[in-house]
Amino acid sequence: MKPFEYTKPKTVREALSSVTKHSHYIAGGTNLVDLMKKQIDEPDKLLDITNTLPDQIEVKDNGVVIGAMVRNTAIAVNKAILESWPLLSKAILKGASPQIRNMASAGGNLLQRTRCPYFYDLTLPCNKRKNGSGCGALKGNNRMGAIIGYSDACVAVHPSDMCVALAALDAKVNIRKADGSEETMNFLDFHRLPGNNPEKDNNLPENALITSIFVPKNNFSKHFEYLKLRDRESYAFALVSVAAALDMDGNQISEARLASGGVAHKPWRWTKAEAFLKGKQATAENFAEAARIAAEDTAPLSTNAFKVPLLKGAIETALHTCLTNKA
């Protein structure tokens, strides 16, 4: 690991004024430290913001505000989250390990980088690590790669579980920019597709800080599921995951939410399938059709075509589970 300077700003203003092109903010460090050890990221200075950003969960009339420094475990076990946003809790508990969840911050979870093996191996080409070097996974070992939303420049997928639930729940990201101004960004606009600039994972302005995440009130606390399919049950990233939530009126679906991880460069919302389900009866036939609608837009790579039937089965299973998995 390259030697670096370490500082601990006391305020957001101090942190914003101290950051430079070759420095990084650090919170839990559960991803950044790995990147530094592997010499993928080599900052000259780290700014420890653990005592700088909000670390509280505040329930409001219209939703909940989760401070950027709230640890993942604290979100997952929070009484208000469990009662009103249980999908978020379930997704978090499917991710990483207890030790990592105890350290990882809410804001940092949004900013974690792909676990594509080509990104982590300095001897292999990777446009995300060095744009212009090529995407080794495009024609190589792309079993874990994307099946939608990718480009010839990058087929990596986003690794987060928490972010899939936040995408399904129409969250918003509150940001403090380098000039001190504030911005709120729709969660669905926060992460990027790779296009020609896969080195950019998200649309966070340069040197800005995530201060909190807002999740609006919803009617999805009674019928929800987070299904994660992976090579092993613990401490593994998703091959395919599905966050599903239904607002039910008897057996009729008033609103549906479907999002997936493990399939794209960003958490992916299946909006066409959601639109199909709205107003429909909650039947096996309609769930199967929603899964078919989602899968028809996919375009698997050379070694991950298995993900398409996996996705269809996961969507159907998650939707069925929504009817029995009551908070």
Q: Which domains does the chain carry?
A: 1-50 (3.30.43.10), 223-324 (3.30.390.50)
Strand partners, 57: 66
Strand partners, 191: 202
Nearest residue to 210 (alpha-carbon basis) of 231, 229, 182 = 182
Mean pLDDT by 10 residues, the chain (327 residues): 96 96 96 97 97 98 98 98 98 97 98 98 98 98 98 98 98 97 98 98 97 98 98 94 98 98 98 98 98 98 98 98 80
Evaluate the CA torsion angle 283, 288, 291, 292 in order and state its sign: negative
Query: Which pLDDT belongs to residue 326?
Result: 55
- DSSP annotation string for 210-268: EEEEEEE--S-SSSEEEEEE-SSSSS---SEEEEEEEEEETTEEEEEEEEEESSSSS-E
Kindly list the distances between the CA atom of residue 113 and the CA atoms of 168, 218, 226, in Å, as whole numbers in the listed order: 20, 29, 21
Spatial neighbors of 312 by CB under 8 A, at least 6 apart, are 288, 291, 292, 294, 295
Nearest residue to 107 (alpha-carbon basis) of 160, 70, 161, 59 = 70
